[in-house]
Amino acid sequence: MPSPCFCPWPSPRSAPQGTVDLPYFHLHASLEAARDPASLSEAHLSGVLSQLQQRCAPESASFWICLARVAEAAILRAARLANSGNFTDCGDLLANPRRIAVRAMGSPHKEYKRRHTPLSDQFAPPHSTICAQRAYFIHNFMVTIETPALLPHLHHLLSTSQYIARRYVHFVESRLERIAEVLNFLACDGIFTPTALDKRLQTLKAAQQHWYISNLCHFDSDTFWRLGQAATTFNTTCVVDDVLIASSGRRAHVSD
């Protein structure tokens, strides 16, 4: 079943004949539905990735084109969140695991950590000191990351693929580093929320505001749309030559 946050599968009759296989058509349509990849939520992108992995074969270049589009949308989303001073949602994409299992020592049962709640607040005995909470947790529980944060997970998939060019992986890494730099820039100025950033910008003169904004992320969505063009035209030779590499001595063509 698709995630509740995932766009419903379009009718098979809506897929253009002779362009792209139905599973990929549905996935690309879901990514393009908002016409603005940076507006796609983490939940939506996680749903697309889940459907891709469940329904499509990783031996196909089409799989990796679609996965790279998910990564592009996630990067653009994280950049927009960073630029707005939204540390919580940007941090979820960059670092905060989506699913953490907590199991008491010797118990077969597990519970799941609430994503934005400290482990000590959720599991440690009440009215205890921080040191006591830490000791209690270390000696009584095991923690397992079952689902990592979305962007590190996508980076791992791309960097270990035989279809993805190293220069594209470096391109992904450079933008992730830039997003982290923007968060650090804002944090050094005491900015941790969109409201605080708006107030800060209002205090600046035009030249200062221009300099301040120049320190934020300025990414474009060109690669996202080029990947979509490659998916619908079966052309990877020039359109995404910087993303895909040859496989088994020949260029990987879009196919299922």
d(CA 22, CA 86): 36
pLDDT of 214 reads: 97
Is residue 162's pLDDT more than 60? yes
56 within 8 A of 24, measured Cβ to Cβ? yes
Pairing status of strand 246-247 against strand 110-112 = unpaired
pLDDT category of residue 83 using cuts at 50, 70 and 90: very high
Task: Tell me the backbone φ, ψ of residue 94, rounded to 5 degrees.
Answer: -85, -35
pLDDT at residue 95 tops 80:
yes
Q: What is the pLDDT of residues 189-228, one digit of tens each?
A: 999 999 999 999 999 999 999 999 999 999 999 999 999 9
pLDDT, average across residues 168-172? 96
How much is the pTM?
A: 0.84
What would the two tokens of residue 89 be? 């949602």
Q: Which helix (H) or strand (E) holds 104?
A: strand 99-104
Percent of the chain at pLDDT exceeding 70: 86
CA dist 34 → 41, 70, 217 (Å): 11, 14, 21
- Find out whether 236 and 244 touch, Cβ atoms under 8 Å: yes
Domain locations in the chain?
12-94+150-251, 99-147
81: nearest Cα among 28, 45, 27, 119: 45
